[in-house]
Structures are given as C-alpha cells and as structure tokens.
Structure 1
Amino acid sequence: MNLLYANDRRGEYPPSWYAATATKMAPFAPLKGAQKADVCVIGAGYTGLSAALHLAQAGRDVVLLDAQRVGFGASGRNGGQLGSGQRMEQDDLEALWGEPEAAKLWALGEDAKGLVKSLISDHNIDCHLKPGVAWTGSTDSEVKHLHAYADLLASKYNYDQIETLDHAGLQSVCPSPDYRGGVLDMGAAHLHPLNYALGLARAAAAAGVRIHERSAVHHIDEGTPATVRTDAGHVVADHVIFACNGYLGGLNRRVAARVMPINNFIAATELLGDRIKDVLPRDVAVADSRFVVNYFRLSDDGRLLFGGGESYGYRFPNDIAAKVRKPMSVVFPQLRDVKIDYAWGGTLGITMKRLPYLTRIGSNMLSASGYSGHGVGTATHAGQLMARAIQGDGDGFDTMAAMPNSPFPGGPAMRSPLLVLAMSWYAMRDRLGI
C-alpha cells in the first residue's frame, strides 16, 4: 500500500481545520513531458519548499515535484510548534556526541528558529505566528528535569528566554489537573502550519521555481545529470534533492532504512468561548513530557487544537476523534463534553534516536528527513542547508549529516512490530507515572 494515497484523496488536502481556514492557492499543473533544471526537488513540504526557494534566490533553475499538493503531508497537518534547539535535548547530545558538537547543533537549532521567523516576515506570510511554547511535567521528577534543563540552557548556552514554572505558575498558563509544573519558552513560537507552507510556495513560485503538483516520482535514473521520472514526464537535473520525509516509499532504500513513517492525530474542538480561560488563559502552545507527546494550542478563532495518539500501520483509525479525545480527556477532564468539529491524521518520519537524518546519497543527490516531530524549524533549515551545500557551502549540512543515525532493526518487515512493542512499554510507563 502506498502511504501517499492510503488515507487521503488524490490531489486534495485532508478535511482539517488547517485546510478549512487556509489562504487558498490555485493548484499547480502536473508535470508533462521533458524538462531540464539545475536542481530537481522531490517533495513540496517545508524541506523542499525551503530548498527550492533558497536555490532560486541564488539564481539556480529549480523544478519542484509533489505527488499530491504543496504542504499536503506533515508540513500542512502538524501541531504548528516552532521549538528551540534540536529534538534531542542538549545534555543528551553532549553525552552522545560531545560538548563541542552539541554546541554546534544548538546554534543550528537557533538558526532554524530564526530562519522561520525571518521567512514569515520577509515574505509577509499570514500564518498567525505567536511566541511561547510551554513544556509540562505530570510527575515531580519530570518537573525537576525540566527545571534543570532550563538551568543548563541558561548557564551553558546563554539561553535566557525560558521561565521555570512551579505548580501555581503552570496553572496560570495551563490549568490542567494532570500537570505539576514545567517551563515556558518565549523564544519558541507557534503558527498555522499549512498557511506557512503555502506562503513558502508563493515565495518560491515568485522566485521562479517551477512547481508541479500531482506528479508522483516513481523512479530516478542516477547519474550526472540524473533523470527524475513521473508517470507523465521526467526532469533531467544536475542535482536532486529528496525532501519526502514519511512519504519516501521505495525511492531510496538507504534513507528508508533509517526513517520510519508513523501516524499522529489532531482534533479541533468547537469554539470554546469563555471556556478558554479554563484551558489556556495564555495564548501559548503546550507539549508534555510523555513518551508519546500530547501537544496543543489555541486556534486563531478560539478552538483547542489537541494532538495526541500515534499508530504505526498504513491506515488511520476509523474514528480519529475518539482516539484523540482519550488523551485530551486526561489532560482536560473539564472538556469531556466538548464537541469536536475536525479530526485528522498525518504521517511523519522518525529516526531511532529522534535526530534528523541528512545524508549525501551520491555526488549529486542530497536527502533530509526524519525530523521526529520537530520539523517546523528543522525541516525549513534543512532545505536551506541543502541549497547551500549544492552551492559549495556544506558546513551546516555536513554537521547535521555527521550525527549518528542507525537503521531500524529488523528491516522494513520488522520495524513496525518492534516499534509497537517499544511504544506499548513506554505508554505503560506513562500510565504508571514511572
């Protein structure tokens, strides 16, 4: 089964709150016939859009292909949180890779956050960018860890935008009976993810990128130049960028062995009105410390957008709203009666260590994926880093590519069952408060 079409209609965005409120964009025509380009980018999410935009601004001739629509995948369906640093915390990076390299990765993470903010400003992208992401703990040990991590970032990385919150402080931000304390990062932010992707697409098209939607790539003839083939046409290009993330399929076995697609789910409630004060009296995004993270924020029109629950097969569950309501009712028991107006799923890419996987597939092919839920900033930045690498400046790309990233055990046949076992264990630990 092809993940591109397993849960969605061809050429249509999923029926999400994001799609319902997006600034609409006319479809781009599918690729037909033969084209030539300096660079062919496969995948029009944040990674591909950023790569194409930065290459076009540097004077390169770029063709951007997507099997569905611009921002169709995780880029247009995610929680909209723009986090600081990397997906892995800095003390873990220090233990894994050493302090000098961990410092480089922190700097790159801050560059990623700054890049998103500057792109939104430079291209007048209306995506409701707002500051503030809180991380919460449901146990005393989780709160202690979060406070210690904030101290580490302040003392070692000179990051002073995080406020530690005791129980009372967190309740003023998010009055959930499930949370005992946490931190609030006002250097992080949240946004409308599909509008951000569409804004990048408009900027890329204005810069001269030739975008083709509904143009699934089924084969690549490697070489210099390479030939990227779809059902109705092909592109001959000096360079190829893989920006497919969870929708890579069988295009490259090496990347597929290290980046596994999983599904995550979000629900949008009815308009909350006065009930907002009982959920999020401050308009910030929130993520908790569970292994399968719950994440949520307010929509611009006053709904709760709540993400929770994962699955590891091809198909989404039949009742996505019920799947999300379960963790939402733990965090906000006061919303057990709230109506859910929208519920949708999306496929993202994860890696074994939750570190992004950037790699040189060949002398003229680059790939970036596996953002593991930290993609708003990291994916946008990865696109820029690949654009720079093609122009001869590979420092940032090579730093990210040097991170250790092992393949999933068991190969494609066994990685999903093994992950289900691991996730079940961690889910049990969450329930027991271990």
Structure 2
Amino acid sequence: MNLLYANDRRGQYPESWYAATATPTERFAVLKGAVKADVCVVGGGYTGLSAALHLAEAGRDVVLIEAQRVGFGASGRNGGQLGSGQRVEQDGLEKMLGADHAKRLWQMGEDAKDLVKSLISKHGIDCHLKPGVAHTASNAGDLGHLHAYADHLRTLYGYDQIETLDHAALQSVCPSPDYVGGTLDMGAAHLHPLNYALGLARAASAAGVRIFETSPAHHIETGKKTIVQTDAGRIEADHVILACNGYLGGLNRKVAARVMPINNFIAATEPLGDRIKDVLPRDVAVADSRFVVNYFRLSHDGRLLFGGGESYGYKFPADIAAKVRKPMSVIFPHLRDVKIDYSWGGTLGITLKRLPYVARVAPNVLSASGYSGHGVGTATHAGMLMARAVQGDADGFDTMASIPTLPFPGGAALRNPMLVLAMTWYSLRDRLGV
C-alpha cells in the first residue's frame, strides 16, 4: 500500500483545521514531458521548499516535484512547535557524540530557529508565529530532570531563555491536574504549520523555482546526470535532493532502512471561549514528558489543538477524534464534554536515535529526513544545508551527516512489529507513571 494514498485523496489536503484556515496558493501544474534543471528537489514540505528557495536565490535552476500538494505531509499537519536544540537533549548528545559535536548541534538548532523566524519575516508569511513552549512533567522524577536540564543549558551553553516552573507556577501557564511542574522556553515558538509551508512555496515560486504538484517520483536513475521519472514526465538534473521524509516509499533503500514512517494524530476542539483560562491562560505551546508525547496549543481562533496517540500501520484509525480524546481527557478531564470540530492524522519519519538522517546517498543525490517530531526548524535548516552543499559548501551538511544512523533491525519486514512492541511498553510506563 502506498502511504501517499492510504488515508488521503489524490491532490487533496486532509480535512484538518489547518487546511480549513490556510491561505491557499495556486494549484501548481502537473509535470508533463521532459525538463532539465540544475537541481531536482523531490518533496514539497519544509525540507524541499527550503532547499529549493535557497538554491533559486543563489541563481540555480530548480524544479521541485510534489506527489500531492505542497505542505501535504507532516509539514502541513504537525503540532506547529518550533523547538530549541535537537530532538535529543544536549546531555544525551554529549554522551552519544562528545561535547564538541553536541555543542555544534546545539548551535545548529539555534540557527534553525533563527532561520525559520527570518524566513517568516523576510517573505511576510502570515502563520501566527508566537513565542513560548512549555515542557511539563507528570511526576517528580521527570520534573527534576526538566529543571536539571534547564540548569545544564544555562551553565554549559549560555542559554538563559528557559524558566523553571514549580507546581504553582505551572498552573498559571497550564492548569492541568496531571502536571506537577515544568519549564517554559521563551526562545522556542509555535505557528500555523501549513501556512508556513505555503508561504515558503510562494517565496520559492517567486524566486523562480518551477513547482509541479500531483507529480510523484517513481524511479531515480543516478549517474553523471540524474533522471527522475514521474507519472507523465521526467527531469534530468545535475543534482537531486530527496526531501520525502515519511513518504519516501521505495525511492531509496538506504534511506528507507533508517527512516521509518509512523502516524500521529491531532484534534481541534470547538472554540473554548471563557474555558481558555482553565486550559492555557498563557498562549504558549506545551509538550509533556511522556515517551508518547502529548502536545498542544491554542489556535488563533481560540480552539485547543491537541496532539496525542500514535500508530504504526498504513491506515489511520476509523475514529481519530476518539483516539485523541482519550489522552486529552487525562490532561484536561474538565474537557471531556468538549466538542471536537476537526481531527486528522499525519505521517512523519523517525530514526532509531531520534536524530535526523542526513546523507549523500549517491555522488549527486542528497537526502535529509527522520526529524522524529522536531521538524519545523530542523527540516527547514536541513533544506538550507543541502542547498549549500550543492553549491560546494558542505560544512554544515557534513556535521549533520556525521551523526551515526543505524538501520532499523529486521529490515522492512520486522521493523514495524518490533516498534509496536517497544512503543506498547513505553505507553504502559506512561500510564503507570514509571
């Protein structure tokens, strides 16, 4: 089964709150016939749009093909959180990669946030960018870790934008009975993810990128010139950038062995009105400390956008709203009766170590994916790094590519069942508060 069409209609965005409130772009044409370009970008999410935009601004002739619509995948469906650092915390990176590499990755995470903010400002992207992401704990052990980590960032990295919150302080931010405290990172931010993607697409098109939608890549033939074949066309290019994340399919076996698609789900409630004060009296995003993370924020029209629950097969559950309501009712039991107006699923890419897989998979084919839920900033930045690498400046690309990324054990046949077993165990730990 093809993930591109397992849960969605061809050429249509999902029926999400994001799609309902997005500033639409023109529908880009389907690629027909043979075209040539300096660079072919495969995938119209943050990674591909950023790569294409930066290459076009540098004077390269760029063709971008998207199997569905630009921003169709995780880039247009996610929780909208622009987090600090990498998906793995710095103390974990220090143990995994050493202090020097960890510090470079921290700075790249900060660069990623700055890049997103600068692109929004430069191109006038109306995506309701707002500061603040809180990280919350449901038990004393997790709270101690969050506070110690904030001190670690302040002491070793000079990062002073995180405030530690005891129970009373957190209640003024997020009055959930489930949380005992947390931290508030005012250097992080949240936004309307689909509007951000569509803004990047408009900027890339204005810079000269030739964008083609509903034009899935079926085969890539590498060589001195690389040929990308679609349903009704082909692109001959000097370089190819793979930016497909969870929707890569069989385009590259090396990437597919290391980046696994999983599904995540979000619901948008009815507008909360006066009930906002009992949910998020401060307009910040929240991510909790569970292994299967709950994440949420307010929409600009006063809804709670709540993400929770994962699945590992191709198909989304029949009742996504019920799946999300279950964890939402744990965090906010007083919202058990709230009406859910929208619910949707999305497919993202994860790696074993929850760090992106960035690689040169052929001499003139670059790939970046597997952002593991940290893609708003990291994917945008990875696209820029690949654009620079194509132009001969591979320093940042090589730093990310040097992160060791192992294939999932068991290959494609066994990785899903093994992940289900692991995630079932961690979900049980979350429920037991272990």
TM, length-normalised to structure 2: 1.00
1:127 and 2:127 are equivalent in the alignment: yes
Give the structure 2 partner of residue 400 of structure 1.
Answer: 400
- 2:69 paired residue number: 69
Identity across matched positions, percent? 79
Q: Report the AA paired with residue 82 of structure 1.
A: L
* In structure 2, distance between residues paired with 1:220 and 1:101: 33
Alignment-derived partner of residue 148 in structure 1: 148
Structure 1: 5+ residue stretches without partners: none
Q: Post-superposition shift, 1:114?
A: 0.3
Q: Which residue of 2 aligns with 1:276?
A: 276
Deviation at 1:372, TM superposition (A): 0.1
- CA drift of 1:24 comes to 1.1
* Inter-partner Cα distance in structure 1 for 2:227 and 2:426: 44
Q: What is the 5 A alignment of 1:292-331?
A: 292-331=292-331
Shift of 1:105: 0.2
- Partner SS, residue 235 of structure 1: strand
* Paired residues for 1:31-430 under 5 Å: 31-430=31-430
1:136 & 1:95 partners in 2: Cα distance?
A: 24
| Rounded Cα–Cα distance in structure 2 between residues aligned with 1:363 and 1:405 | 19
Describe how 1:16-31 pairs up with structure 2 within 5 A: 16-31=16-31
CA deviation profile, 1:125-154 (whole Å, cap 9, x unmatched): 000000000000000000000000000000
Secondary structure, aligned partner of 1:224:
coil
Structure 2 residue identity aligned to 1:103 = K
What secondary structure, in the 3-state scheme, does the structure 2 residue paired with 1:127 have? coil
Q: Which amino acid aligns with 2:261?
A: P
* Cα deviation digits, residues 253-290 of structure 1 (max 9, x gap): 00000000000000000010000000000000000000
C-alpha distance in 2 between matches for 1:310 and 1:195: 24
- CA deviation map 1:89-138 (0-9, x unaligned): 00000000100000000000000000000000000000000000000000
SS at match of 2:172: helix
- CA drift at 1:363: 0.9
Q: How far, CA to CA, are the matches of 1:221 and 1:181 in structure 2? A: 53
SS state at 1:159 partner: coil
**CA displacement, residues 368-404 of structure 1 (integer Å, 9 cap, x when unaligned):** 0000000000000000000000001100000000001
In 2, Cα distance between the equivalents of 1:152 and 1:126? 35
State the shift of 1:221 in Å.
1.1
The structural deviation recorded for 1:231 is: 1.2
Q: Which amino acid aligns with 1:60?
A: R
> Which structure 2 residue ranges, 5 or more long, are not aligned?
none
CA distance in 2, matches of 1:383, 1:309: 28
- Aligned CA-pair RMSD: 0.3
Distance 1:203 1:422 in 2: 41
- 1:377 and 1:213 map into 2 onto residues whose CA distance is 24
Per the TM alignment, residue 194 of structure 1 is displaced from its structure 2 partner at its CA by: 0.1
Report SS of the residue matched to 2:407. coil
TM-score, normalised relative to structure 1: 1.00
What is the one-letter code of the residue matched to 1:367?
S
C-alpha distance in structure 1 between counterparts of 2:362 and 2:412, whole Å: 22
- SS in structure 2 of the partner of residue 420 of structure 1: helix
Q: What code does the residue aligned with 2:125 have?
A: I
Give the C-alpha shift of residue 298 in structure 1: 0.1
Query: Equivalent residue of 2:47, what SS?
Result: helix
CA drift of 1:224 comes to 1.2
Name the CA distance, whole Å, in 2 between partners of 1:224 and 1:179.
56
Structure 1 Cα separation of the partners of residues 23 and 200 of structure 2 = 12
Task: Tell me the secondary structure at the aligned position of residue 173 of structure 1.
Answer: coil
CA distances 1:341-362 after superposition (whole Å, capped 9, x unpaired): 0000000000000000000011
Count matched residues. Answer: 434
Letter in 2 for 1:184: L
Distance 1:430 1:134 in 2: 19
The 2-side partners of 1:96 and 1:229 are apart by 39
Any idea what the Cα deviations from partners look like across 1:316-370, whole Å, max 9, x if unmatched? Answer: 0000000000000000000000000000000000000000000001110000000
Name the amino acid aligned to 2:106.
Answer: W
After TM superposition, give the deviation of residue 252 of structure 1 in Å: 0.2
Q: Counterpart of 1:237 in 2: which secondary structure?
A: strand
* DSSP-derived class of the 2:302 partner: coil
Distance 2:131 2:291 in 1: 24
